[in-house]
């Protein structure tokens, strides 16, 4: 059986949600963050050389990286669900936003967060890097003004991987969503999904995800 190793309040909530959307059997092993460092505990870091969440096990396969895990599970268990065929007009948008999550919006947000911690907000380089984060959120809001989901009319794995930088990541890299009405409306739609509700109840019971 597929085992999802979930680090509390982390990117691995994506994988729990994916399994719930697909309604596939899986075992969930949950790990709390170190109370002092707030990082992954030693037993989680030992699961994979990356030392980071998420991690899954499937027989002899131990796999890390959100995008790789999502593609692996969909290829093995999805039966065509939560993805877009290559001949669909929505396929380019599906691909773009699937990779935008970890390739653009998350790095820009975390760079801005680190710059803030280092007190470097006033120099030109810091302002330029922070501007990338602002631009990324504007792009997301513009996209969600055009379509209900990132790929278009269909809910897909692009939504699953994109949700983390819009929600849980804001625990670590705060961002006010007041200027982004389409993101806020999107998050309200996602919050109504039964599979999302089940996933969050299992992955992080008692945690209030910043959905607005």
Q: Are residues 183 and 95 in the same domain?
A: yes
87-97 pLDDT, tens per residue?
999 999 999 99
Contacts of 179 (CB under 8 A, 6+ apart): 141
Q: Is residue 159 part of a domain?
A: yes
Cα-flanking dihedrals φ and ψ of residue 204, to 5°? Answer: -140, 65
Q: Is residue 211 part of a domain?
A: no
Q: Are residues 55 and 113 in the same domain?
A: no
Cα-flanking dihedrals φ and ψ of residue 99, to 5°? Answer: -90, -20
Q: Is residue 110 part of a domain?
A: yes
Q: Is residue 209 part of a domain?
A: no
The label of the residue with tokens 């992954």 reads: 40
pTM of the model: 0.92
Q: Are residues 97 and 46 in the same domain?
A: no
Q: What is the CATH number of the domain that holds 15?
A: 3.40.30.10
Which pLDDT band, with edges at 50, 70 and 90, does 35 fall under? confident
Q: Is residue 208 part of a domain?
A: no
For residues 167-177, average pLDDT: 90
Q: What is the pLDDT of residue 199?
A: 98
Q: Is residue 8 part of a domain?
A: yes
Q: Are residues 98 and 163 in the same domain?
A: yes
Q: Is residue 210 part of a domain?
A: no
Q: Are residues 44 and 122 in the same domain?
A: no
Q: What is d(CA 7, CA 68) in angstroms, rounded to the nearest whole number?
A: 17
Structurally, the chain folds into a number of domains equal to 2
* Beta-strand relationship, 3-7 and 27-31: parallel
Report the percent of the chain where pLDDT is more than 70: 91
CB atoms within 10 A of CB 68: 12
Q: Are residues 102 and 12 in the same domain?
A: no
Distances (CA, A) of 109 to 97, 104, 161, 174, 212: 16, 9, 15, 9, 17
49-95 pLDDT, tens per residue?
999 999 999 999 999 999 999 999 999 999 999 999 999 999 999 99
Q: Are residues 135 and 173 in the same domain?
A: yes
Q: Are residues 77 and 95 in the same domain?
A: no
Q: Are residues 97 and 76 in the same domain?
A: no
Distances (CA, A) of 51 to 47, 106, 206: 7, 18, 25
Rounded to an integer, what is the distance from CA 25 to the centroid of its chain? 21
Q: Is residue 134 part of a domain?
A: yes
Q: Are residues 73 and 98 in the same domain?
A: no
Structural domain boundaries, residue 184: 91-193
Q: What is the CATH number of the domain that holds 123?
A: 1.20.1050.10
In the predicted model, what is the mean pLDDT of the chain? 92
Is residue 166 within 8 A of residue 183, CB to CB? The reply is: yes
């Amino acid at each position: 059986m597929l085992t999802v190793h979930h680090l509390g309040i982390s990117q691995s909530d994506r994988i729990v949600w994916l399994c719930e959307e697909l309604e596939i059997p899986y075992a969930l092993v949950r790990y709390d963050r170190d109370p002092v460092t707030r990082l992954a505990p030693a037993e989680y870091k030992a699961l994979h050389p990356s030392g980071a969440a998420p991690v899954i096990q499937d027989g002899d396969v131990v796999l890390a990286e959100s995008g790789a895990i999502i593609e692996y599970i969909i290829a093995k268990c999805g039966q065509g669900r939560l993805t877009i065929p290559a001949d669909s007009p929505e396929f380019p948008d599906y691909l773009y936003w699937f990779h935008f999550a970890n390739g653009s919006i998350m790095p820009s947000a975390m760079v801005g967060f680190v710059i803030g911690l280092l007190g470097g907000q006033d120099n030109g380089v810091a302002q330029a890097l922070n501007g990338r984060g602002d631009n990324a959120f504007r792009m997301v809001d513009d996209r969600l003004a055009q379509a209900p989901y990132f790929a278009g009319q269909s809910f897909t794995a692009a939504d699953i991987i994109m949700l983390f930088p819009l929600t849980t990541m804001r625990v670590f890299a705060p961002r006010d969503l007041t200027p982004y009405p389409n993101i806020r409306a999107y998050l309200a739609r996602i919050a109504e999904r039964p599979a999302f509700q089940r996933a969050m109840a299992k992955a992080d019971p008692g945690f209030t995800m910043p959905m607005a």
